[in-house]
């Protein structure tokens, strides 16, 4: 069987030398190195050499789960996200789950938040602990973050769980390890080793692509103590030469990529690595960005080949045409004011009964003035403020907004499958139903359209009626969202259900704001979230690749990132490194052409850009005449 390893790539052969010794391993590879290919080779070889052993593969997203399952189909392979993996291995032990949850709720640092300050040992006696997309501790329902904390506690407190897990899986492989919670890493590398059973833990990933908060980032502390043996994969199969050489300059971990030995690799042509192109454009005129996009001659309508990457959704909202909705969900200063007041009540232990008070009466009673920014918002929206003051405080205080309620489950192109579950609120979900019904009809998917509506096709007249309704909806882009909801309801396209009614009842203030927005705003949001535009956030692009990448270096108002600090070497190290990794991820998405745009940079920024991109590839565009047909990519 060992001789069969000669057909494996060298890095995988090295991995199995460590496997033979029963050692844990880490495959470190830069972007585009083919880590998933290596993972699949390792899985197949592990199964081939251990035909009765079970293998667990843990990955970061449901999309990655589907990809790996599509490449390896075997009854002994279990592929899942980290949350599903943990839940599957603790959900049967309800007695221990309940005891652990009570302990964590009652812990001094309140590791799992609860409405009650303390709960009794038998608090969950009549309830099973369940894992859902939302948290409702009083009902025994935990969500993602709670699950990580709970699983960590259980594997630490009940060593038998470690025995059971190691008996169940001879191999546990963790893909995109750098995005994994430190709690999970502690479970598999610290707690499991206390068990006398034997198994092998393998990690696959890239520390330079660690761009999410609260993740482990790297395993160097374990590598340095030989708890994990590192294998470096330094080839690049995705990027052209100029792109991966730029990426090498951004790396800080010693990995220096070269082109693949395989002439069939995507970045090879006629036996040689593609050259590709990289450009750093800068200007003192923000309008030049659209000028650049026109003259690049890229098809920004082809979302499978071309992407424009911005740091935040806020920076995209204006360009993509849903700024008013974004301002509601991410810029309502009156709700911020409400939070200041509720925090004040809690922090000062005010026990007065406000149940019959309006929000305005509470303001008058407590005399807490708005902040300067809030007052400016109120001055611009006096009617909205008066409306907010009229709501009962007990209801108004329960209203919370965040961007996930508007923007969760963004797809990169129209063929992407959405994730299981969504944090979008029920108003946005209802609007999605309406727009999807329109799209189903337009695409000729009539059976699916009819299944989701109140229509029955009984005559030519009924077909004509449906066509007229859809045609009218197409003409309602300038109507308000409320008018579209009512029309879709009255004509059987999308009935106003209990979930929408509950949303309006509990968040009347939000509904009153959103309903006045033009439906075109939502249609633009729909196109953005469903992957019909070239826009993407720089975080969301991770794990994908495109022929043409345009990166916009604009921090917005996000202080965790600062592109000027990155190029100038200033600011705190944590901000610089966080920005460096994000920039690395963005640049390495390009399979052909990379263009970076920086508005109004300092001379220091330009000097650093020349060192990274090459002097000839850093170009000032403010003096390019508008009559130029095309700029050189």
Element (H, E) at 394: helix 393-396
Question: DSSP string spanning 130-143?
Answer: EE-SS-BGGGTEE-
Rounded to whole angstroms, the Cα distance separating 506 from 395 reads 7
Rounded to whole angstroms, the Cα distance separating 483 from 486 reads 5
CA atoms within 13 A on the CB side of 218: 14
Rounded to whole angstroms, the Cα distance separating 172 from 175 reads 10
Residue 151 assigned as binding residue: no
Token pair of 532 as six digits: 């019909």
Rounded to whole angstroms, the Cα distance separating 621 from 413 reads 31
What are the CB-based long-range contacts (under 8 Å, 24+) for 556-560? 556/310, 556/311, 556/312, 556/314, 556/315, 557/314, 558/311, 558/312
Residue 32 assigned as binding residue: yes
Residue 334 · residue 377 · CB < 8 Å:
yes
Element (H, E) at 551: strand 546-553
Strands ordered across the beta sheet of 229-233: 77-81, 55-59, 171-175, 200-205, 25-29, 229-233
Element (H, E) at 205: strand 200-205
Residue 35 assigned as binding residue: yes
Task: Characterize 374-389 residue by residue with b for buried, 16 or more Cβ atoms within 10 angstroms of its Cβ, and e for exposed.
Answer: beebbeebeebbebbb
Residue 180 assigned as binding residue: no
**Secondary structure (3-state) at 204:** strand
DSSP state of 590: E
3-state SS track over 60-101: CCHHHHHHHHHHCCCCCEEEEEHHHHHHHHHCCCHHHHHHHH
What are the phi and psi torsion angles at 603 (to 5°)?
-65, -35
- Going by C-alpha positions, the residue among 36, 44, 35, 33 that lies closest to residue 67 is 36
Residue 140 assigned as binding residue: no
CA-to-CA dists, residue 588 to 10, 31, 236, 548, angstroms: 24, 6, 10, 11
Helices (H), 141-298: 144-157, 159-168, 182-186, 220-224, 241-250, 288-296
Rounded to whole angstroms, the Cα distance separating 12 from 19 reads 10
Residue 582 · residue 539 · CB < 8 Å:
yes
**Secondary structure (3-state) at 298:** coil
Token pair of 267 as six digits: 């970045």
What are the phi and psi torsion angles at 79 (to 5°)?
-110, 130
Q: Name, in order, each residue with C-beta under 8 angstroms of 51's C-beta and a sequence gap of 6 or more.
A: 76
Residue 64 assigned as binding residue: no
Residue 12 · residue 25 · CB < 8 Å:
no
Token pair of 556 as six digits: 């917005």
Residues in the annotated binding site for ATP: 29-36
Q: Which residues are annotated as a binding site?
A: 29-36
């Amino acid at each position: 069987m060992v001789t069969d390893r000669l057909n494996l790539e060298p890095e995988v052969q090295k991995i199995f030398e460590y496997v033979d010794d029963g050692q844990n391993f880490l495959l470190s590879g830069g972007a585009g190195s083919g880590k998933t290919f290596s993972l699949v080779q390792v899985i197949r070889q592990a199964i081939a050499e251990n035909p009765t052993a079970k293998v667990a593969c843990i990955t970061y997203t449901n999309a990655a789960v589907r990809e790996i399952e599509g490449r390896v189909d075997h009854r002994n392979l279990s592929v899942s996200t980290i949350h599903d993996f943990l839940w599957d291995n603790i959900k049967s032990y309800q007695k221990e789950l309940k005891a652990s949850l009570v302990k964590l709720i009652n812990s001094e640092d309140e590791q799992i938040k609860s409405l009650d300050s303390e709960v009794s040992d038998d608090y969950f006696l009549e309830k099973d602990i369940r894992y859902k997309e939302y948290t409702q501790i009083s009902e025994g329902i935990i969500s993602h973050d709670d699950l990580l904390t709970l699983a960590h506690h259980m594997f630490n407190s009940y060593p038998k769980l470690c025995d059971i897990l190691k008996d169940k899986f001879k191999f546990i492989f963790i893909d995109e390890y750098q995005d994994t919670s430190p709690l999970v890493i502690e479970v598999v590398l610290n707690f499991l080793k206390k068990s006398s059973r034997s198994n092998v833990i393998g990690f696959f990933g890239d520390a330079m692509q660690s761009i999410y908060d609260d993740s482990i980032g790297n395993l160097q502390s374990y590598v340095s103590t030989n708890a994990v043996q590192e294998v470096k994969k330094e080839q690049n199969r995705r990027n052209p030469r100029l792109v991966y050489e730029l990426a090498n300059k951004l790396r800080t971990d010693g990995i220096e990529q070269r082109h693949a030995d395989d002439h069939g690799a995507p970045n090879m042509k006629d036996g040689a690595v593609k050259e590709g192109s990289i450009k750093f454009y800068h200007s003192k005129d923000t309008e030049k960005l659209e000028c650049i996009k026109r003259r690049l001659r890229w098809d920004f309508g082809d979302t499978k080949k071309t992407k424009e990457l911005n740091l935040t959704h806020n920076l995209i909202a204006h360009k993509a045409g849903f700024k008013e909705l974004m301002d509601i969900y991410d810029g309502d200063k009156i709700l911020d004011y409400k939070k200041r007041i509720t925090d004040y009540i809690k922090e000062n232990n005010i026990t007065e009964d406000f149940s019959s008070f309006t929000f305005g009466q509470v303001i008058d009673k407590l005399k807490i003035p708005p902040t300067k920014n809030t007052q400016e918002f109120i001055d611009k929206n006096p009617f909205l403020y008066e409306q907010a003051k009229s709501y009962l405080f007990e209801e108004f205080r329960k209203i919370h907004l965040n961007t996930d309620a508007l923007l969760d489950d963004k797809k990169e192109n129209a063929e992407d499958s959405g994730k299981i579950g969504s944090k979008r609120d029920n108003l946005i979900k209802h609007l999605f139903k309406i727009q999807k019904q329109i799209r189903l009809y337009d695409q000729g998917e009539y059976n699916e359209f009819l299944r989701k509506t109140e229509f029955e096709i009984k005559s030519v007249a009924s077909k004509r009626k449906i066509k007229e309704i859809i045609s009218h909806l197409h003409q309602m882009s300038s109507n308000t969202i409320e008018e579209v909801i009512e029309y879709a309801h009255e004509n059987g396209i999308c009935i106003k259900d209990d979930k929408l009614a509950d949303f309006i009842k509990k968040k009347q203030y939000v509904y009153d704001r959103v309903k006045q927005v033009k439906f075109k705003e939502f249609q633009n949001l729909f196109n953005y979230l469903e992957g019909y535009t070239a826009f993407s956030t720089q975080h969301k692009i991770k794990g994908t690749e495109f022929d043409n990448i345009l990166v916009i270096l604009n921090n917005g108002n996000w202080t965790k990132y600062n592109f000027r600090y990155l190029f100038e070497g200033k600011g705190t190290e944590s901000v610089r490194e966080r920005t460096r990794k994000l920039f690395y991820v963005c640049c390495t998405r390009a399979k052909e052409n990379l263009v970076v745009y920086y508005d109004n940079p300092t001379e220091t920024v330009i000097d650093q850009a020349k060192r990274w991109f090459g002097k000839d590839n850093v170009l000032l565009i403010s003096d390019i005449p508008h009559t130029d047909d095309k700029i050189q990519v």
